[in-house]
């Protein structure tokens, strides 16, 4: 897509796939409101007093129907809102269209490139001359990261005149971040510092984003207050456990139409997300095997009758593999080569590096066959057998299905608010 | 759609939504073959001996990816095949396209009108001058019905010169059947009798279709041998129990994105289909209530900790209603009026008269809002509350999802073969 | 125990462990009546018309509290009743005492020797000079067997003067049967033939007993009509599936206090009994593995996420082994030698030859340590590791617990009546 | 029983039901050791260094087979041990016998009176002239309570010469405590203060005991350090959740032989204990209803498909009632009067005041019929219907079964050690 900001007739900025889907989005928003009693109660209780009157809120969080109800709750409480997604595949285009037309500035569409993704993140934080947002709603910490890297670069530039060098990193995504910051320095060398000044704080939604924040706090580099929404009971238990229990099988079925009953499914990790995934697969009739290094979590799996093995033990026997660990390099290309024909590999942890997509993409002679968007069959040259990778190794429940259901998100979003 | 038969470059007849989807259909067919070991084993074992060499097979059965694997198994065993769907919503257009292009004559698309449906059924039985098919693969008995009604009408016409009168019935669908037969009499008054002569037999897939056949057998009106595939173990247990356990939640989630956990769900009927539905809903975290008149089935539900009530008892409290009985008039418009706002109403039994759609459509002042295809919100004028009806009261697992998974259909189709 | 018949003050014959437990038995009978609505409804509905007036009924069926309610239902309907147990461990002595004191002739106690067992069976059939019973309620077919063997021996004796030779068989139990018949011939060479004349029929409760009857019917040796109670829905589904689901964990816990959660449990056979056992173990948190040769049953297990293996595959890894097959020689001493220390081995199928007790008892150097009645640890000399065998390889749910609960037995006994 | 201390041939004090059961206890101890790998690993790892060398440990904790393995682990690590039970019904007499004969001073038997109970507690703390224990292992806090009340009384006595007055309280149990302390003052007015001086600390096992300790800490009255073992993961999740999931159905079946499937069961409270109970009942086929005032816990129940109601709503419909709250006055006599005939009422929370036993016992005209020890039927005069109360309202899993299985206790006891 051409990267230029568009405007509604009322002058609000946006960039979405297709504004004409706004009516469809509105219909689903109407349904979702009934399923999200927590947020609706916030509107009723706090709407009259307009607690967010005049506040600017930037959100970097999957642009779904449920998030749309969150955004309209924030605006109902008086806020001005700009939004982007925190995942290149997670936007529901009809939700983005409805919000763009009716309520807030949105920069998000399903299937962004990484360059587009960071352009959207930049737009979301760009409140024009008067600095940035008062509050950030973050999910995974990318908006927070951009500001921190930006401030660091501006201070270095002021001190030594040096600008960030995208070639200084091997990480393709971080190259893009550095490029954006370098180009920004040319027009305004105080942009991110102005943002930092104005910013009251950030609320962070995910385990991984929270870890990043704690690391920054410990090293003394955290620039503004942060609220850990992830560890509230309504998030950690409800969103992770019940949400994933719902959306894992949903994503599997939409992407592959596979029958889960009778399959052997490997869940990597038995934290709250892993517990939800294992429960869902077990209940659907799969035989579940868990890989887990934490002894307490492993013992809990055992108490539920679940076998604990290493990935190596089962890699050539299982039909479905799900990563839930929040750590990187869980399923490597070397594992994938040994899998059965049409084994399904997917990730429901927040980041996209649990599955070694880089190793897969660069494997000599590997062939990628796209069955449909977010569902690819990768065929290895030696064996001619293929594996099916969902959502390019990113969050499969958002890439292949519609993420957590409204009710669950009502619980965690009500906390965010 | 304009109702005219089209032809492939090789001269085979077809009528599908979009032949250009054939490549996509072929990719999913490749995946499904791996999931359907029974059918593939038939190809390997019986392919060389070509047992169906020269046989003409007409099929009236949901035109899905799984059925496509069945069709290509029949052709691999030597048969010539013509196909239509047995449900106006159940066709997967990419499956139909792949078969039409590569393997057999197909007349089916998602979202047929009733007129189109019966036109397709007629085409499927129309083998040209030399009479009809040698074998029929039926699902619900509509192809069988058409031939029986046709033969009856031809005999009456020969005896008394009388032609069927579409106005003699109140049933809108039967009006269409009579019209087709009446119109057919004008061109060939022996068509259905020639079919009957040639026909070796029919295999029937559903409980309801089988009941119809037994009734005809008892009354002495059954014109040709029939094989009851429904009551084989692989069908009754696997297709009904495990298939519905898989596809009910799949259909609910695709159609409404609703969180099943925490909901109150009513399953009408606790036969094999009802058992599968209740198990799926319970495992997804719903509180399930069953309505059932058979005391043994009711006791079985009780032994699983499921509450037994009448529909009247729970109509205003439940969130999800599923009919599985195979009987008609289970959920009436009077029930629907009393339901909660956004209660979901759907049917997974074979026929479309378990839910009183006629009563709903003709309710004074009722308003229908189509959220997306197969998902309608019906708003009652008195209360302004609405209910969500899936697949217009027809088979929701085919209308809203992709039906039973390949593995299950492999079990029952292998029997059919 | 000294084998002599005792008499109540009213002159009714009996032989039980301790008549003074009758009060305790009566209290539990009172409770059980509330749990057995089917039998109590029979008393209410048919009591006044006394359909069994004057009928002599002999029962060979586990002498439990539930059976006591059955017996008193039969007497309430007018019958005279004599009873023995069909298993040497299954009698509940307080139940036997209450019945002996109040209602019927009982010959049964927990922990009979095989000689005592067959003496009891003989007493149960012994109605004095006037021949035998009008009806037999059989469970496993031992009463039926005794009459058939008796008749055969009497006919042979009349023809050739030959008497049965206990030494003609290796089976220790059949030796006893032949001895009883031989000794009986000396006093009355028409006893069993008189019984056969009088007998109207037998109702049989178990799969195994029914199989015996069908074999006799086929070979033309069945001497009187038999009713197959086993295959009625209320028996096969309820008693086998739900009953074993209840009583397997009950027996395991009473005998060993073992925690089932986290254990690996092997269920041999996945018929209705096996399904109930597997469900119970799975729900208690065990990882269940099934051994099964029937492909349909194996596929059903797979659909529930249960692993199918051979016994050899898991013999050294599993913690609990349960046989449910109804066949003999399932777990041999050679398997038992390879098991983990303190692995639990038990049988819930009807007969006592699923586990190779003979092989175990005669294994050179094996040592038996009785933890408590029905719970033995057998230590192998080579490894010094031991396995725990419940109820000496006989029905563990009767030997170690109290059998099926009243509610389940109400369902199948109501059918018997 | 006559309350006099006995001595083994080696001079160790004890008071148990029957020392001749020591062999049977030893056999079950041998089995339990295999099931308690954590404790056995402690013996192997720490045995050689004798960390408890010379330490005096007094324990007030259910005197079961599992506790016996704990005690022998403590002695294996060098400790001298005296023990009593913390519940009048929870002692397993064969376990007590084995320990008394072989390892430690034990004062405990199943079915103590309250006077006997506190006499045992006193003996357990009585290390003769040289003061008290170095460490206390407490469960429910009764040993801790006795010392605190003793110290308070001694200080008051020293100050004002006043002795405690048993008549100053209505609580019958506290009357006994005051009597013991009053009588103790006569012989040694420094006894409890000497104990306090010597005592290094107490480890407490239960939620309720921990609450008592926190209250004392807040009010500044806690006299010595306390370790909260209850809130360690291995205790709160494993012991409460998995332990109760195991032992609730075990206790129900041993006490009543009732079939759980098909019953309506009410679980009061949905904390970890309640979650374990609800899971067990649901899996056994009951329909479970939860009463809960905490909204998060209630929402968790809802997510598992469990109905939330008040006790009043279901009191006359349910078959089984279990209290798990840790609070008092949950099921009152007024509830019990309205229950169905033979409804089962039991408590699995730590204290015995969740069920209003006092109200029941003093209800005018109520009649108690003891079916067997720990299983009483109470008949109300107006209705002649009765309810079945287990373990006199005390911990039913210890009163009616054998408590938590060894494996679970291994987890929490290993922590204690």
* Active site residue ranges of B: 62, 85, 90, 139, 205, 230, 235, 239-240, 244, 350, 404, 412, 416
Q: Chains A, B: CB contacts under 8 A, how many?
A: 101
For residue C237, the model assigns a pLDDT of 66
Catalytic residue chosen out of the listed positions D112, D205, D319, D392 = D205
- Mean pLDDT lowest for which of B289-293, B401-405, C42-46? B401-405
Mutate one of B283, B297, B298, B299 to test the C interface: name it (highest C CB count within 10 A): B299
Of A254, A341, A406, the CB nearest to B259: A406
When CB atoms are compared, the residue of A287, A304, A307 closest to C285 is A304
H helix or E strand, kind and range, residue B366: none
Q: Which CA distances in Å does C234 have to B407, C86, C240, D283?
A: 32, 21, 9, 21
Residues paired with residue C193 on neighbouring β-strands, in sequence order: none
Ordered DSSP codes for C80-116: EEEEE-SSTT---HHHHHHHHHHTSEEE--TT--HHH
* Chains in contact with B via at least 3 Cβ–Cβ pairs below 8 Å: A, C, D
CB-nearest to B31 from A34, A371, A404 is A371
Mutate which of A281, A287, A318 to disrupt the C interface (most C C-beta within 10 Å)? A287
CA pair distance B196, B150, nearest whole angstrom = 10
Q: What is the pLDDT of residues D135-168, one digit of tens each?
A: 898 888 899 999 999 999 999 999 998 999 999 9
**Do A405 and B377 lie within an 8 Å CB cutoff?**
no
Provide, as residue numbers in chain C, all residues whose Cβ is less than 8 Å from the Cβ of B299. Answer: 238, 411
Mean pLDDT over each residue of chain D, to the nearest integer: 88
> What pLDDT, on the 0 to 100 scale, is given for residue C172?
86
Tell me the binding residues of C: 64, 139, 205-208, 235, 239, 271-276, 292, 348-350, 397, 404
**Which of D282, D287, D299 minimises the CB distance to B307?**
D287
CA dist C378 and D267 (Å) reads 41
| Phi, psi for residue C31 in degrees, rounded to 5 | -65, -45
Q: State which residue of chain C sits closest to D277, comparing Cα positions.
A: C284
Whether D350 is a known active-site residue: answer yes
Contact yes or no for B287 and D303 at CB 8 A: no
Say if CB A52 and CB B277 are below 8 A apart.
no
The predicted pLDDT at position D235 comes to: 60
Across the interface, do D285 and B305 touch by the CB < 8 Å criterion? yes
Mutate to test the interface with B, among D280, D283, D303, D305 (most CBs of B within 10 A): D305
Both tokens of A382, joined, read 């030696």
ipTM of the complex: 0.74
D interface with B, Cβ–Cβ below 8 Å: 261-262, 282, 285-288, 299, 302-307
Q: How far apart, in Å, are the Cα atoms of D93 and each of B254, D86, D395?
A: 60, 14, 17
Q: Which of B203, B184, B202 is nearest to B193 (CA)?
A: B184
- pLDDT-wise least confident of A160-174, C402-416, D156-170: C402-416
Q: Do C284 and D283 touch (CB under 8 A)?
A: yes
Residue of B nearest to A241 (CA): B261
* A236 is known as an active-site residue: no
- Nearest CA of chain A to the CA of B138: how many Å? 24
A334 catalytic residue (yes or no) = no
B131 assigned to a ligand binding site: no
Residues of chain C contacting A286 with CB distance shorter than 8 Å: 305
For B259, which of A260, A284, A408 is closest by C-beta distance? A408
Range name among A349-353, B366-370, C177-181, D273-277 with the lowest pLDDT average: A349-353
Active site residue A175: no
> Minimal Cα–Cα distance from A227 to chain B, Å?
27
Ranges A216-220, A305-309, C376-380: which has the least confidence: A216-220
With tokens 């987890």, the residue in question is D411
C97, C17 in Cβ contact below 8 A?
A: yes
To test the contact with chain C by mutation, choose from D251, D259, D275, D400 the residue with the greatest count of C C-beta atoms within 10 A, namely D259
pLDDT at D276 over 60: yes
Beta-carbon separation of B261 and D304 below 8 A:
yes
Residue A103 contacts residue A25 (beta carbons within 8 Å): no
Q: Mark yes or no for CB contact D402/C262 under 8 Å.
A: no
Q: What band does A230 get if pLDDT is binned at 50, 70 and 90? A: low
Q: What is the pLDDT of residue A215?
A: 80
Strand order in the sheet with D105-107: D6-7, D13-15, D105-107, D80-84, D56-60, D135-138, D201-204, D226-228
pLDDT of D211 reads 77
Question: Which of A80, A134, A138, A139 is labelled catalytic?
Answer: A139
Burial code (b: 16+ CB inside 10 Å, e: under 16) for C205-226 equals bbbbbbebbeebeeeeebbbeb
Q: What is the arithmetic mean of pLDDT over B288-297?
A: 90
pLDDT surpassing 70 at residue A417: no
Whether the full predicted model's pTM is greater than 0.80, yes or no, is no
- Bridge partners of A364? none
- Annotated catalytic, A240? yes
Q: Please give the sequence-ordered ranges of beta strands (E in DSSP) within C33-157, or none if there are none.
A: 56-60, 80-84, 105-107, 135-138
Residue B171, marked binder: no
- Whether residue B350 is annotated as binding a ligand: the answer is yes
- The verdict on whether residue D183 carries a ligand-binding annotation is no
The SS3 assignment for A287 reads strand
In angstroms, what separates the C-alpha of B262 from chain D's closest C-alpha?
A: 4
**E-state strands within A193-286:** 201-204, 226-228, 264-268
Q: CA-to-CA distance for C377 and C361, rounded, in angstroms?
A: 12
Average pLDDT value over all residues in chain B: 88
CB contact under 8 A, A296 and D233: yes
Residues D332 and B346: their CA atoms lie apart, in Å, by 44
Is C285–A262 a contact, with Cβ atoms under 8 angstroms apart? no
A350: annotated active-site residue:
yes
Neighbors of chain C with 3 or more C-beta pairs under 8 Å: A, B, D
Average pLDDT over residues C386-410: 74
Convert the pLDDT of each residue in A32-58 to its tens digit: 888 888 888 888 888 888 888 888 999
The tally of CA atoms less than 13 A away on the side-chain side of residue D381 is: 8
Q: Is A313 assigned a catalytic role?
A: no
Residue B408 to residue A259, Cβ atoms within 8 A: yes
Q: Which residue of B has its CA nearest to C297?
A: B233
Angle made by CA atoms A371, A377, A378, in degrees to the nearest 5: 145
Annotated catalytic residue, options A230, A247, A347, A410: A230
pLDDT of residue D388: 94
Question: Count of CB contacts below 8 A, A vs D?
Answer: 15
Burial of D48 (0-12, 13-18, 19+ CB in 10 A): exposed
Most A CBs within 10 A among C263, C287, C288, C296, hence the mutation to make, goes to C287
Active site residue D93: no
> Which of these, B303, B294, D249, lies nearest to C410 by C-alpha position?
B303
Residue A349 region, left (φ>0) first, then alpha (ψ -120 to 50), else beta?
Answer: beta
Q: Which of A41-55, B225-239, C206-220 has the highest mean pLDDT?
A: A41-55
**A305-309, A347-351, B378-382, D101-105: segment of lowest average pLDDT:** A347-351
Residue with more model confidence, D268 or B229: D268
Query: Is A285 in Cβ contact with B256 (below 8 Å)?
Result: no
Residue with tokens 């060479």: C189
Q: Which residues of B touch C303 (CB under 8 A)?
A: 238, 242
Cα D164 off chain centre by = 26
Q: Kind and range of the H or E element at A257?
A: none
The answer, yes or no, to whether residue B64 has pLDDT greater than 70, is: yes
Span B358-375, mean pLDDT? 92
**Cα separation of A150 and A209, whole Å?**
18
C272: phi then psi, degrees, rounded to nearest 5: -65, -40
Per the DSSP assignment, residues forming a β-bridge with C346 are C322
D415 carries an active-site annotation? no
């Amino acid at each position: 897509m051409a990267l230029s900001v568009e405007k509604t007739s009322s002058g609000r900025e946006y960039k979405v796939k297709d504004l004409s889907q706004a009516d469809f989005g509105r219909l689903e928003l109407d349904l979702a409101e009934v399923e999200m009693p927590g947020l609706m109660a916030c509107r009723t209780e706090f709407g009259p007093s307009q607690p967010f009157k005049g506040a600017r809120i930037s959100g970097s969080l999957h642009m779904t129907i449920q998030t749309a109800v969150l955004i309209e709750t924030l605006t109902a409480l008086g806020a001005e809102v700009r939004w982007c997604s925190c995942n290149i595949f997670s936007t529901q285009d009809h939700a983005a269209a409805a919000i763009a037309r009716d309520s807030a500035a949105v920069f998000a569409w399903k299937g962004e490139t990484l360059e587009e993704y960071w352009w959207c993140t930049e737009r979301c934080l760009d409140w024009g001359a008067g600095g940035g947002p008062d509050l950030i709603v973050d999910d995974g910490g990318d908006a927070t990261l951009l500001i921190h890297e930006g401030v660091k670069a501006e201070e270095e530039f002021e001190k030594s005149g040096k600008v960030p060098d995208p070639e200084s990193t091997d990480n393709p995504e971080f190259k893009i971040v550095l490029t954006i910051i370098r180009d920004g320095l040319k027009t305004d060398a105080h942009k991110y510092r102005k943002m930092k000044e104005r910013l009251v704080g950030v609320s962070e939604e995910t385990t991984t984003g929270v870890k990043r924040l704690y690391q920054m706090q410990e090293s003394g580099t955290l620039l503004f207050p942060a609220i850990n929404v992830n560890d509230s009971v309504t998030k950690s238990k409800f969103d992770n456990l019940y949400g994933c229990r719902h959306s894992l099988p949903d994503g599997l079925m939409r992407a592959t139409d596979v029958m889960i009953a009778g399959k052997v499914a490997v869940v990597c990790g038995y934290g709250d997300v892993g517990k939800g995934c294992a429960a869902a697969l077990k209940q659907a009739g799969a035989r579940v095997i868990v890989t887990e290094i934490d002894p307490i979590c492993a013992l809990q799996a055992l108490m539920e009758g679940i076998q604990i093995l290493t990935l190596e033990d089962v890699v050539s026997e299982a039909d479905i593999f799900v990563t839930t660990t929040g750590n990187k390099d869980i399923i490597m290309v070397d594992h994938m080569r040994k899998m059965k024909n049409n084994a399904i590999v997917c990730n429901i942890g927040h980041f996209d590096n649990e599955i070694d997509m880089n190793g897969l993409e660069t494997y000599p002679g590997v062939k990628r066959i796209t069955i449909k968007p977010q569902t690819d069959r990768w065929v290895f040259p030696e064996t001619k057998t293929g594996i099916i990778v969902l959502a390019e190794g990113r969050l499969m429940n958002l890439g292949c299905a519609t993420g957590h259901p409204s009710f669950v998100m009502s619980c965690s979003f009500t906390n965010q608010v």
